[in-house]
Structure 1
């Protein structure tokens, strides 16, 4: 075997081996091309602490996993599956002799769930951790839990090309080892796009520029397979050969893409972001970067995470450019403005995707209390729990059910796994394989046909493609070929036969019920285009919908809107299947409702599936609690303005709000409209007892209900610190006006304040009252909270202006010593 040539990572291998000999965790930073992926696992094989156990290396991408395993095997003079093997979705090459297993993310999670002790495994290596895939974060959290509780001898090594190494090392409590790598300078250019040209359409022109300005191969980064095919059709590379590189290539095409051209020709490699750091590409001296990638994002229309085209981050841009500097000085053409600022770091996938799969893994593990570098967002977790309960994967207490464990083992989204797990026959499982492929993959329909909202149409087009027949709609052969292969893999996983050539139109919908029990839709009795969903929301069909007239639909994809969501894809079904699948979801309830027209309570007995009302009949109101519940429902519909407010009660509400701001130590409860609506049952319900209409509630009763929000000490504090009125020097008691967030206002005639050095204050003297000083005719003169300053600086001018206008009123030279009064001078004399 030829000795391997030196790589930059070789310089730090002794430090890494010494560190892992004394510490169970380590962080290794090494730029792309340093050799960490293929050198490190082999270097660890003979470590004494490994004691002949296996090494698992996690690779986020299938192509990279296969490539790394084959490269390491070849360096040992072997085929993949001997000392070095791999496991990816739908494929494995391992044997009893395998010591290094390169696995993709979901495979590692399954291995940990199946055997938490990881018997026979001595180390787990997390490669390309900087990509922050959800299953990488989950795998690390599970491995840390295993190490802490069951396997303190297990070694964990986190490796990355670009990484917040210091932060991660602190999180792991681990040494940080760095390899500088080897690179040459790369010239970065930002060539302008032409009018009407986008980054993808500019690629052929930019490739010609890169070929002319550099030597060696040109690597082009495109967002996905569709754009690669589009560019390949338009590209004329002259003597250069065009090569595609993406995760869906077969093994021979992958091997060709990762090897130099046998004839020595220059190559133009059209690649997805798999080429950023996951694989080694020989001969590249120039990079054309569109700045785009496809990454998972939560799609609220479908409830799934779907691939979306996004702008790359600054670390990704640096890695892509670095690909041009491996062999010598390189060139990178960036197809975005130089002024455009990229995100400085990669956001973890678990902050951007749907989390029902993650939550199901955690519940199966038996703990939500795992250590994540970035914890999953609480809102996403709560939404995932609702989905899993609807599927029957979690019980009401949030524990995983036996059915939940069955769907977890299938290794796809819990919704789709639930559909496959409930399939009752071989043919149903075969159809489920097709439906999983259709829902996981991209839409096969093109042009105007893509706007058709029938999911069963897409199945028929797929079936026609498979049978080499003409379809009833225009489908993309490329997309249909990928869907057909995906469905074949799922049939093998589900042990299903070949699917039928034709099916009843209800069959897809009947199966999809198990995946979308919360999106079952019943047609509105008076509007054929509107539906009520089982999750309580409304939905509507678009104007040209092919589903119009269907009494029942299951809706895999819809666009959420403020009132009625828009159905994007749906399938009709036989409602008899509902009781067979979900008998426990049917219930009878008696519900008090508020009739806006009569302003009174009506009670209905309803037959429901989840929140979908199937039948309703009005019954007599006999339960007092139903009356109260109905009236509270009316307040929620109409708003608090439906209650008998008076100005005094609104002022009470404002006083409470002000005092909460001024004296937070009192811990008074919130009494604003939003807070009152949120707890109607606590404060209003007792005062509605015995009433059947809102109009029966008097203002006095309503005031009692409001004031009961404060206990005795709170009421005393309110009256003392935010009084209704204050006594002014004239002896009169005048009312204050309160507004939340403002000091209280006191409108008062100027003469009533003679002799006072300072104006009144509230909140124990902390908040001066804002004085609206009035003329004898009650017209405003001045607004001030500083009465002393008014006497000193402004009074003389006011006196001069108003004395002649109001001669019967006192205008003393010295307001400090004058007698305050609200009467005229003549009456006083």
Structure 2
């Protein structure tokens, strides 16, 4: 290590890091924020023999951190960025032939491994800030470990983390060494300032910042969940402060261009203080000179994927304890500091220790496409710290098949290869490649830029064409225009390399869609499950091809369009609010989605008329493009299945239940309660789940609700049990019980247990309580008066005779003097008659 390099806590363990990578290939480095691992570790490894003139590639989760760390390392070497140290982030490349340390962001690393699994010319991969557990970091490490095992046994892998427990990741990497740096942080005082009840976060943040400006020295780093909150706090602060305060307010968030981000992290000019209003982008890997105070709102905005709706939406959640400690540590990087937390100390202790890894929460379509490109059929075959959820992978594969990226066997297609080469979500990539085929590359790239970023015309209605027009006239934000230009270049290159530019199939030039339909068609290529047809009625409600519903405000300019392609809607699973869409015609839909249109006879339950109907239909997903009656005979099994579907929708109450079938169902339910693994479930849910097994065979010829009265439900219920059980049911759960008078009385199988309602006089002389289920269950006796009113409920008949019978006799003898009330019921003769025996 050069003598002119700064003295940082990480320096104490650099020799251990070198030794671990010299004696083996993998290591884990745990070092707290401010230890200096991001800049000092790559520089320390430059002179190692195993490097042999090759590169070190270091993964940084965020572009801002990647640029800042590369600049800092280059500065320490006395060079410019792009010489020994360079960086490669989305749309920006500062590397040269002499670059030995290359700092990249996550998507770049995954693409490097995919393009060259042997990682030619790369000696080591460093995964910095791995505790953030981003999806691409998990995938990048999994691919790197597989490459190391199969192709590059000399490849060095170093995982660096500030808060993550190192042992599990070390186990994943072959039980490699774990090196710990104690770090050196200056003391940071913590002050808890929970906002007032119902107080919004923006005024609470402004109050805390003003308190810090008045009572603390140094600049301030304030953490807020997103751009909207930052903009509002910035406005409130500017109104509250004057030029005499000599305070610079500097927003810092991911959607800013690089120059604005760089300005935010520069030190304040002499005589000024700075208030940096930042998202979690400033949580790690950055040192902002002059920061001595942190004000943390305790919230962060994270993407959450809802499998039920197929939507990813940003949600505001409370930050974890680990995240809060990371933020707090920013105040003690250069000198003692203070951290204001806008929540209570008790609440802090109740927060989760760590945030959930992105792989557990995210849309897995991009990951699944990368896995298919890698050739992975079984996701569990890769080394994961957290294995992706199988159901989410299956759902992602369904989406990718609709996007033509995977074939029926789950293998990547030529379309999928082209899509994977583009730095956007697979949906947008499919739109861009199809747009290139149709000569609509510019519009497709503009839409991709629009849909990859925050809507800059949020209150202008849902019509995407307005946004495209603003972009064409140069009225969109500069960063979005730059994104469009970069995406256009990448698309053109991908199309050239993969020959995706000359039509489909026969080589003829594809038909151009009508100009009015172009935006809608492109959106439909990205979201084939969100093609919407307007429902009948005055409200702008749409049925979507994926089966969901969508709604537009009545005043929206798209509200009268018959067909829409929807790009953005909220997460409601049944009827979602449509935020961004474009119109298209049915003719255009049929022209360009012919391969997804299915035809055939559909037999289904008509809920309006309570009957099975058969129609010839042409459909795209859940949408019916054309329908006409079918006059030919329909297969009986299809009619029965449709009738079964109708019963599910109506519920079991539509069936002709009578006393016998209800009683049989109750007996079977009792036996299921005794032996759930042996006897069938008689609950509504259980019966509905298995209608095909027990009821459908009895629906032959039945196509209307009114015809259900023909069904013999008792016979259908008996079919749920086998022949042996049919022989046992009378013994285990008899329908009736013979009492001492010889009467056969029906047992009432209630949810709380079997009961036998019987007149008290008919039980005289009985010494045993009835028992069923091979004597395991006592039947509760409901002893009735001559007027059939309850006198006593008991499961201990002898105990009743010897106990409370005397009181019952005293009360009833005067009320029913003609009836028999013997002194000794155990010796008395049972009777059904009104008068006493022998009278």
Normalising by structure 1, we get a TM-score of 0.89
The alpha-carbon distance between structure 1 residues 244 and 650, as it changes in their structure 2 partners (threshold 3 A), is same
Shift of 1:526: 5.7
Range 278-287 or range 117-126, more displaced: 117-126
For 1:180, the equivalent position in structure 2 comes to 182
1:380 correspondence with 2:392: yes
- Contact map agreement 2:820 2:836 (CA 8 A) in 1: no
Q: Following the alignment from structure 1 to structure 2, what is the Cα–Cα distance between the partners of residues 167 and 261?
A: 42
1:340 correspondence with 2:347: yes
The alpha-carbon distance between structure 1 residues 687 and 254, as it changes in their structure 2 partners (threshold 3 A), is closer
Q: Following the alignment from structure 1 to structure 2, what is the Cα–Cα distance between the partners of residues 343 and 317?
A: 11
1:402-440 CA-to-partner distances (Å, cap 9, x unmatched) read: 212221221211111110010146861111121112212
1:44-89 CA-to-partner distances (Å, cap 9, x unmatched) read: 3344555554332211100111111222222223322333222211
Match of 2:451 among 434, 439, 448: 439
Give 1:624-663 correspondences, 5 Å limit.
Answer: 624-625=635-636, 626-663=638-675
For 1:200, the equivalent position in structure 2 comes to 202
The alpha-carbon distance between structure 1 residues 248 and 355, as it changes in their structure 2 partners (threshold 3 A), is same
For 1:8, the equivalent position in structure 2 comes to 9
Aligned residue for 1:310, secondary structure, equals strand
Query: How big is the alpha-carbon RMSD for the aligned residues of Structure 1 and Structure 2?
Result: 3.1
Aligned residue for 2:473, secondary structure, equals helix
The alpha-carbon distance between structure 1 residues 41 and 596, as it changes in their structure 2 partners (threshold 3 A), is closer
Give 1:568-583 correspondences, 5 Å limit.
Answer: 568-583=579-594
1:109-142 CA-to-partner distances (Å, cap 9, x unmatched) read: 1122222333333332221122222212222232
Range 285-294 or range 260-269, more displaced: 260-269
The alpha-carbon distance between structure 1 residues 73 and 561, as it changes in their structure 2 partners (threshold 3 A), is closer
Shift of 1:736: 1.6
Shift of 1:604: 1.3
For 2:123, the equivalent position in structure 1 comes to 122
The alpha-carbon distance between structure 1 residues 437 and 301, as it changes in their structure 2 partners (threshold 3 A), is farther
Shift of 1:346: 0.6
For 2:300, the equivalent position in structure 1 comes to 293
For 1:471, the equivalent position in structure 2 comes to none
Q: Following the alignment from structure 2 to structure 1, what is the Cα–Cα distance between the partners of residues 22 and 611?
A: 77
For 2:777, the equivalent position in structure 1 comes to 767
The alpha-carbon distance between structure 1 residues 571 and 756, as it changes in their structure 2 partners (threshold 3 A), is same
Aligned residue for 1:608, secondary structure, equals strand
- Contact map agreement 1:223 1:292 (CA 8 A) in 2: yes
The alpha-carbon distance between structure 1 residues 192 and 685, as it changes in their structure 2 partners (threshold 3 A), is closer
For 1:470, the equivalent position in structure 2 comes to none
Shift of 1:207: 2.7
For 1:316, the equivalent position in structure 2 comes to 323
The alpha-carbon distance between structure 1 residues 245 and 729, as it changes in their structure 2 partners (threshold 3 A), is same
Aligned residue for 2:559, secondary structure, equals coil
For 2:429, the equivalent position in structure 1 comes to 417
1:488 correspondence with 2:485: yes
For 1:75, the equivalent position in structure 2 comes to 76
1:629-683 CA-to-partner distances (Å, cap 9, x unmatched) read: 44234323322222222222223223323322211342x3334332333333333
Q: Following the alignment from structure 2 to structure 1, what is the Cα–Cα distance between the partners of residues 773 and 116?
A: 65
For 2:20, the equivalent position in structure 1 comes to 19
Match of 1:799 among 787, 791, 809: 809
Aligned residue for 1:331, secondary structure, equals strand
Shift of 1:514: 0.6
Q: Following the alignment from structure 1 to structure 2, what is the Cα–Cα distance between the partners of residues 763 and 64?
A: 71
The alpha-carbon distance between structure 1 residues 309 and 685, as it changes in their structure 2 partners (threshold 3 A), is closer
For 2:543, the equivalent position in structure 1 comes to 532
Range 485-494 or range 589-598, more displaced: 589-598
Match of 1:460 among 449, 459, 469: 469
- Contact map agreement 1:646 1:699 (CA 8 A) in 2: no
For 1:520, the equivalent position in structure 2 comes to 531
Q: Following the alignment from structure 1 to structure 2, what is the Cα–Cα distance between the partners of residues 301 and 713?
A: 43
For 2:602, the equivalent position in structure 1 comes to 591
Match of 1:554 among 561, 565, 578: 565
For 1:469, the equivalent position in structure 2 comes to none
Gaps of 5+ in 1: 467-478, 498-502
For 1:214, the equivalent position in structure 2 comes to 216
For 1:500, the equivalent position in structure 2 comes to none
Q: Following the alignment from structure 1 to structure 2, what is the Cα–Cα distance between the partners of residues 151 and 318?
A: 38
Normalising by structure 2, we get a TM-score of 0.88
- Contact map agreement 1:683 1:705 (CA 8 A) in 2: yes
1:54 correspondence with 2:55: yes
The alpha-carbon distance between structure 1 residues 165 and 372, as it changes in their structure 2 partners (threshold 3 A), is same
- Contact map agreement 1:624 1:690 (CA 8 A) in 2: no
1:145 correspondence with 2:157: no
Range 618-627 or range 413-422, more displaced: 618-627
For 1:473, the equivalent position in structure 2 comes to none
Match of 1:607 among 618, 632, 636: 618
- Contact map agreement 2:170 2:178 (CA 8 A) in 1: yes
1:716 correspondence with 2:727: yes
For 1:330, the equivalent position in structure 2 comes to 337
For 2:43, the equivalent position in structure 1 comes to 42
Q: Following the alignment from structure 1 to structure 2, what is the Cα–Cα distance between the partners of residues 134 and 747?
A: 65
Q: Following the alignment from structure 2 to structure 1, what is the Cα–Cα distance between the partners of residues 685 and 306?
A: 30
The alpha-carbon distance between structure 1 residues 597 and 452, as it changes in their structure 2 partners (threshold 3 A), is closer
- Contact map agreement 1:301 1:557 (CA 8 A) in 2: no
The aligned length equals 807
